[in-house]
Amino acid sequence: MKLIALNDHSARATGSTSIELANDVDPRTLSLAGVERIDLVFPKFTDGRAFSQAFLLHRRLGFRGEIRATGDVLVDQLVQMQRSGFTSAVLKEGQDMAVAQKQLDRYKAFYQGDAVTVKPIFSREGVAELTREGATA
């Protein structure tokens, strides 16, 4: 996931087609033809509707352009954002970029599947391999 400081974020992507989606809009109602970037807004950190929008865009609608989190984006939300389909995040003012990157680097894999990696780890790694590791642990 690409991290962007608030002062480096521009509402319009240069040379590309981008749209900003309010968090009460159903992404399934949009025409995504030619769209390269979609900005999803978190008006406050307790409002998680943009997580559902990102999941719909990435997994169900197959959007492969940039899905950018904007608004009240905190470091502790980044891992779940990445797993929901966000490809970039504009950090709220006062959030430390180094701490944010450390948070993203903390987890290398997850047991469950998600919007980005659909298969759970046992399907990716193989049941026999996990069983063998469990028997020797």
Longest dimension (CA), the chain: 55
Same structural domain, 68 and 9: yes
Do 53 and 35 fall into the same domain? yes
| 122-136 tens-digit pLDDT | 787 654 454 445 444
Residues 56, 9 within the same domain: yes
If asked whether residues 116 and 131 sit together in one domain, one would say: yes
User: What predicted TM-score, i.e. pTM, was given to this entire model?
Assistant: 0.80
> Could you tell me whether strands 66-71 and 37-42 are parallel, antiparallel, or unpaired per DSSP bridges?
parallel
Both 41 and 100 in one domain: the answer is yes
Give the total number of structural domains in the chain. 2
What pLDDT does residue 40 have?
Answer: 96
Q: What is the pLDDT of residues 83-110, one digit of tens each?
A: 999 999 999 999 999 999 999 999 877 7
Please tell me whether residues 74 and 13 are part of one structural domain.
Answer: yes
pLDDT of residue 13: 53
CATH of the domain at 56: 3.20.20.70
Integer Cα distance of 48 and 42 in angstroms: 7
Residues 60 and 98 in one domain: yes
